[in-house]
């Protein structure tokens, strides 16, 4: 069994009944938050307790936070594997597919190293989900498995492994308002929850589009496969900016200093992913897909040619933080903690990532989110 297969092995997947859910902020239903991954192998879990010197238990709240993070990483690993099979580098670190030269070439229009970046991002998510589940086991807490929900058919294009999936990359509706949110110097969703940030690619927010070739028929004409690669190019940062906010938001609820350390150590890697992918998305060539009318605008030309759309502004612009009476500060946003986990679930659902999933899947995911949102820092 290779490395990827072992990390996708089935495992126990139950969780304790969640404490009461918290009220949710309306803005959390609109923001782009996300991240997810699958389950570590049985051998890794079996030796987990030996990997950590301290076997003392963690609080129920801390376990709930880490379980939700593990579930998010499981889902994230699932779709990154799909991208890597078709457009990344297949090797002993991340195996499973055989690559699709035409799709890979279209991705490389955004950057010549896209296949390497996709590979490395995929491996990162594997390590996150494996570590989080192993740590939970080492503390006597229940790990997370979504293996029973691996029922969705994926791409049948050349390069795909043809395995069943957890996530659907072929009917995406992308909220690209993170683009202007991180360029705004006046608004912060934590302080302006009712403000609507403009979409970078309005068409992606108003339809359902595939980010991978569904079959070999999608490999032509050239503008069609480039539009698919462009969609992937915007999906990458849309997802990663979610983890960018998720981890610091959850960290504010952690009781254990060690759990806090885990959350604030994994979170910055999501930020590194986000900045990389936001830079590459800016290289997506303007075009209109002749098969469906999907248009990618030139963000550096009128009417988009303002600071809020400028493609080389990949570092967060300073904005109000904590209070409008304090000086502006360059920060991750949002980092409001109330309802963060259910906000993530709603965002990923609205994206179309779970089209085709069962009611049991949504029930399980909502249970994990409610437990995480009910976590309180204990003194």
Backbone angles phi, psi at 165, to 5 degrees: -120, 165
For residue 301 the two structure tokens come to 């030309």
pLDDT digits (tens, 9 = 90+) for 189-219: 999 999 999 999 999 999 999 999 999 999 9
Does residue 53 register a pLDDT over 70? no
Angle, in degrees to the nearest 10, between helices 359-373 and 60-87: 130
Does residue 26 register a pLDDT over 70? no
Q: Which of these ranges, 13-17, 65-69, 100-104, 126-130, has the smallest mean pLDDT? A: 13-17
Does residue 148 register a pLDDT over 90? yes
CA distance 162 to 279: 31
The residues, any chain, with a CB within 8 Å of residue 103's CB and separated by 6 or more, are: 86, 87, 157, 159, 212, 213, 219, 225, 228, 229
pLDDT digits (tens, 9 = 90+) for 71-107: 999 999 999 999 999 999 999 999 899 999 999 999 9
Whether the predicted model's global pTM rises above the 0.85 cut:
yes
Cis bond upstream, residue 221 (ω within 30): yes
Question: 3-class DSSP state for residue 343?
Answer: helix
String of DSSP letters for 143-211: ----GGG--B----STT-----BSS--SSB----THHHHTT-SS--TTT-TT--PPPSSHHHHSS-B-S
Q: Given pLDDT bands bounded at 50, 70 and 90, which one contains residue 25?
A: very low
String of DSSP letters for 56-114: ----HHHHHHHHHHHHHHHHHHHHHHHHHHHHS--SSSS-S----HHHHHHHTTT-TTH
String of DSSP letters for 1-45: --HHHHHT-------PPP-PPPP--GGGGTS-----B----HHHH
Is the separation of the CB atoms in 102 and 12 below 8 Å? no
Does residue 364 register a pLDDT over 70? yes
CA distance 158 to 219: 10
Does residue 317 register a pLDDT over 50? yes
Q: Give the residue-averaged pLDDT of 121-134.
A: 98
């Amino acid at each position: 069994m290779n490395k990827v297969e072992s990390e996708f092995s089935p495992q126990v997947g139950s969780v304790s009944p969640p404490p009461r859910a918290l009220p949710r902020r309306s803005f959390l239903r609109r923001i782009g938050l996300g991240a997810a991954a699958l389950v570590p192998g049985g051998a890794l879990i079996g030796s987990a307790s030996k990997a950590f010197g301290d076997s003392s238990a963690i609080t129920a709240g801390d376990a709930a936070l880490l379980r939700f993070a593990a579930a998010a990483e499981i889902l994230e690993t699932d779709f990154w594997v799909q991208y890597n099979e078709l457009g990344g580098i297949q090797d002993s670190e991340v195996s499973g597919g055989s690559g699709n030269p035409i799709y890979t070439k279209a991705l490389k229009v955004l950057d010549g190293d896209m296949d390497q970046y996709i590979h490395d991002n995929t491996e990162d998510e594997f390590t996150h989900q494996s570590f989080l589940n192993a740590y939970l086991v080492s503390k006597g807490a229940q790990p997370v498995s979504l293996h029973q929900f691996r029922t969705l058919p994926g791409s049948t294009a050349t390069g795909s492994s043809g395995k069943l999936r957890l996530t659907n990359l072929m009917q995406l509706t992308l909220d690209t308002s993170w683009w202007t949110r991180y360029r705004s110097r006046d608004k912060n969703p934590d302080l302006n929850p009712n403000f609507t940030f403009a979409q970078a690619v309005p068409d992606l927010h108003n339809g359902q589009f595939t980010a991978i070739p569904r079959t070999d028929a999608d490999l032509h004409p050239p503008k069609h496969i480039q539009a698919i690669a462009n969609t992937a190019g915007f999906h990458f940062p849309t997802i990663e900016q979610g983890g960018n906010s998720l981890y610091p938001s959850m960290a504010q609820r952690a009781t254990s200093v060690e759990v806090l350390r885990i959350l604030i150590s994994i979170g910055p890697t999501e930020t590194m992913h986000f900045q990389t992918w936001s830079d590459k998305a800016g290289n997506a060539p303007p075009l209109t897909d002749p098969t469906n009318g999907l248009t990618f605008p030139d963000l550096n030309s009128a009417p988009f040619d303002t600071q809020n759309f400028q493609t080389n502004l990949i570092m967060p612009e300073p904005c109000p933080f904590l209070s409008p009476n304090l000086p502006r500060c360059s920060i991750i946003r949002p980092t409001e903690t109330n309802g963060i986990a259910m906000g993530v679930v709603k965002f990923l659902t609205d994206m179309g990532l779970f089209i085709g999933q069962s009611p049991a899947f949504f029930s399980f995911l909502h249970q994990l989110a409610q437990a995480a949102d009910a976590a309180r820092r204990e003194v």
